[in-house]
A = this chain, B = another copy of it.
Amino acid sequence: MAEARWLTDDEQRTWRSFLIASRLLFDRLEKELKQNSNLSFATYEILARLSESPGRSMRMADLAAACVFDRSRLSHAIDRLVRSGWVRRVPSTSDARGQLAELTDEGARQVRESAPGHVELVRSLLFDRLSREQQESLREVSTVLATGVLDPARLDRMGWPAATPRPDPPSARG
């Protein structure tokens, strides 16, 4: 290795700003959820993802990918959710290794209850304050970051949401 490529002052400022801002934001969301629903952000995300999924259930690995958790972390988190009665484990019928995490009615109720406050806060801290151009920039930058870490194929497999609406209907393929 020759000379380390340091950050310019400008880059340094940008990086620190991003770091601080995202942490402040996530902390704030965490606090709101804890306060109003006694949920951690991580827990909320799991419940939210499940609630949006067909059959209110997902394969463990898919859920982990969607939430950007490693498998162990998800497994422990699901343990706790099962103990709370909000999630049920169901063995996969198509793959004997697989488990589905399935939202219970109680779990679904919990999401419905906590979602509005959470969404309202995201809106008020983020979208109400960003112009349309800034929102586009944010998505653009996020895409750059994500593809910097994972290739597009992997992102796609984990349900990467940044894509603009499909250019062709799926049936028109091939």
Residues of A whose CB lies within 8 Å of any CB of B are 1, 4-7, 10-25, 27-28, 68, 115-116, 119-120, 122-127, 129-130, 134-135, 137-146, 148-150, 158, 160-163
Min CB distance A49 to B, Å, is 10
Question: Cβ of B122 and Cβ of A15 under 8 Å apart?
Answer: yes
Min CB distance A144 to B, Å, is 5
Q: Which residue of B lies closest to A165 (CB)?
A: B9
With A137-B138, A145-B126 known as contacts, the answer to whether A161 contacts B17 (CB < 8 A) is: yes
Give the number of times this chain occurs in the complex, counting copies.
Answer: 2
Q: Which residues of the other chain, B, contact A17 by a CB distance below 8 angstroms? A: 138-139, 142-143, 146, 160-162
Question: Cβ of A20 and Cβ of B160 under 8 Å apart?
Answer: yes
Q: Which residue of B lies closest to A15 (CB)?
A: B122
Question: Cβ of B149 and Cβ of A24 under 8 Å apart?
Answer: yes
Question: Cβ of A27 and Cβ of B68 under 8 Å apart?
Answer: yes
With A4-B116, A4-B119, A116-B4 known as contacts, the answer to whether A14 contacts B142 (CB < 8 A) is: yes
| A24, A68, A135, most chain B CB atoms within 10 A | A24
